[in-house]
Structure 1
Amino acid sequence: MADLLPVDDPGDARLADYRDLRDVQLRKSLEVENGLFLAEGAKVVRRAVEAGFTPRSFLMAPRWVEDLSDVLDTTDAPCFVMDEKQVERVTGFHVHRGALASLRRTPLPSVPDVLKGARSVLVLEDLVDHTNVGAVFRSGAALGFDAVLLAPRCADPLYRRAIKVGMGAVFSTPWTRLDDWHGALPMLSGLGFTTIALTLADDATPLEQAVAGQDKVVLVLGSEGHGLSPRWEKSADRRAIIPMREGIDSLNVAAASAVASYITMRR
């Protein structure tokens, strides 16, 4: 069982994992160097531990200790207990449903392992907003997608904000990063997937037509600003669009992923 350790000093060195969570660049460096990530909120903390990630420690307000007592019973990691105002001083913001956990990262699986048995896959190219990445994971998980692959420059799905927005979907959805960005889509086509790029290209067809009758489908979504790179747009097997009312040419990538996932899973 976790040791419950009352702490009243926001400067306590034992709280280093949780300090200054608003500073994205600082957090990226700290989390990569120390092989950790943070989960925020009682539900997300629970899902992370249940998914098999090993806790380094917990930080929570007293009223959340009982709610997470069954989770704390499974580990000997320390649980630092602080007043909610003090937790806010440590993290730099109000922690929604005042519980946090620092957990150890695990090595990413190989692409073949992630794709084993998969029929519906999301592939993300250069999404740099953690909120969008989390939302895409959540939509994919909710609508039955089997896996997610990320280009090297995509935002980290295990960043706190991505995990929170995705409600922990990153813990239940197999995912990894693509090493070979240049040849990624032809590689997936060679594995029997029909790769379908969401794009405004002139030859794009309505998505419902593009996915009709296809067994194994990869939906390819591009960055928030410029969409897909010309390389990925051209190397996809098909180019597709979500038909929209005249005058509106596109959706936010998170919204587009939800609509596209729904259409694809109805095939």
Structure 2
Amino acid sequence: MDADPSLLQRPHRLDPAPARPGPVVRHHAGVAEVVPIYDPQDPRLADYRALTDVELRKRVEPAHGIFIAESALVIQRALAAGYRMISAFVSDRWLDELADQLSSVEAPVYVGAPEVLQSVTGFHVHRGALAAFARRPLSSVEEILRTSRRIVVLEDVNNHTNLGAVFRCAAALGMDGVLLSPRCADPLYRRSVRVSMGAVFAIPYARFDTWPDELTGVSAAQFRLLALTPDPAATDIRTLRVAAGERIALMLGAEGPGLSKQALDRAELRVRIPMHAGVDSLNVAAAAAIACFVVGEPAPPRLD
């Protein structure tokens, strides 16, 4: 049975719980507000409750306009990207390490013992830190098309791990944006953000309203729409020639079903990654990495 969405309703601010055995919290002059937490049922932790209930979180996080970042590195990258932190929830063992990152944040930092974090979230937070951030309005498909030369187009990639890995590949290998079909997973779901190592903050994305009809707009924007498929009749991606400045849209489908016939039919060219006998396909993130390397903008030379 799904958890009750009311669990995530944000209450009015309460006074701190009375002192009793719990986290050892030292004063940090740079952190706006450090709040010791002793009771896992403290209503101020509503945003962090039931993080392992995927269906619940998929419904309530977008509805409440929040997302959860996990680990000090991902929190740092969300802050660097300009996302507004609502609160942080950290293990007492990690507060010292995070103090510098949180020094300019005007948001409460809830601090608890590791067992309190686990009781609230439903899992062992071995990275020691979570933070709730406010979502921002999505870019439009038209904006992505107008400002990009290399994009990834995803059809029904609803596995959060795969989606996060694709975003990481796209950001690392010179893609300018990502377009999602309506049934793709949420890039700001906690697991997607974590697997991407914060790359979801570095590359703009948008979601189509209708699929695959809106692919005509990609072609109309002068993008060469390439469909990745294991079909042996498709063009070997190693033979692909991409001109400097050419607009390329690389389209991939979900692991297993791949691209639908309707999506394939809208592609200008079907391309494949050649494989040795006995292996007919790759994980969508692995395929994306190879394809993005072929078509992505080259990285600038290192100066060291």
Q: TM bucket by the smaller chain?
A: over 0.9
- Tell me whether 110-119 or 36-45 shows the greater mean CA deviation: 110-119
| 1:148-159 correspondence to structure 2 within 5 Å | 148-159=178-189
Between structures 1 and 2, the one with greater helix share: 1
2:248 corresponding residue in structure 1:
217
Which residue type is aligned with residue 237 of structure 1? E
Matched, 1:165 2:201: no
Matched, 1:97 2:127: yes
Q: Is residue 125–residue 223 contact of structure 1 (8 Å, CA) maintained in 2?
A: yes
Pick the aligned partner of 1:194 from 224, 242, 246: 224
The TM-score normalised by the length of structure 2 is: 0.84
2:291 corresponding residue in structure 1:
260
- Gap change, CA 1:189 and 1:102, over 3 Å in 2: same
Q: Is residue 149–residue 175 contact of structure 1 (8 Å, CA) maintained in 2?
A: yes
| 1:69-88 correspondence to structure 2 within 5 Å | 69-88=99-118
* Deviation of 1:135 (Å): 0.2
Whole-angstrom distance in 1 between the partners of 2:200 and 2:209: 19
Q: Is residue 174–residue 296 contact of structure 2 (8 Å, CA) maintained in 1?
A: yes
2:272 corresponding residue in structure 1:
241
- Tell me whether 153-162 or 1-10 shows the greater mean CA deviation: 1-10
Matched, 1:230 2:266: no
Q: Is residue 175–residue 297 contact of structure 2 (8 Å, CA) maintained in 1?
A: no
Query: Could you say which structure has the larger radius of gyration?
Result: 2
The TM-score normalised by the length of structure 1 is: 0.95
Percent of counterpart pairs with the same letter? 48
2:39 corresponding residue in structure 1:
9
- Tell me whether 60-69 or 20-29 shows the greater mean CA deviation: 60-69
User: Aligned with 2:201: secondary structure?
Assistant: helix
* Deviation of 1:202 (Å): 5.0
* Deviation of 1:140 (Å): 0.8
Please identify runs of 4+ aligned residues in structure 1 that moved more than 3 A: 210-214
Which residue type is aligned with residue 294 of structure 2? I
> How many equivalent pairs are there?
267
- Gap change, CA 1:211 and 1:85, over 3 Å in 2: farther
Structure 1: 5+ residue runs without aligned partners?
none
* Deviation of 1:208 (Å): 2.6
- CA deviations on 1:13-63 (whole Å, 9 max, x unpaired) are 111111111110111122122111000000001111111111111000123
Whole-angstrom distance in 1 between the partners of 2:241 and 2:187: 27
Q: Is residue 232–residue 272 contact of structure 2 (8 Å, CA) maintained in 1?
A: no
Whole-angstrom distance in 2 between the partners of 1:128 and 1:18: 23
- CA deviations on 1:47-90 (whole Å, 9 max, x unpaired) are 11111111111000123222222332222211100011211111
Which residue type is aligned with residue 155 of structure 2? E
* Deviation of 1:266 (Å): 7.2
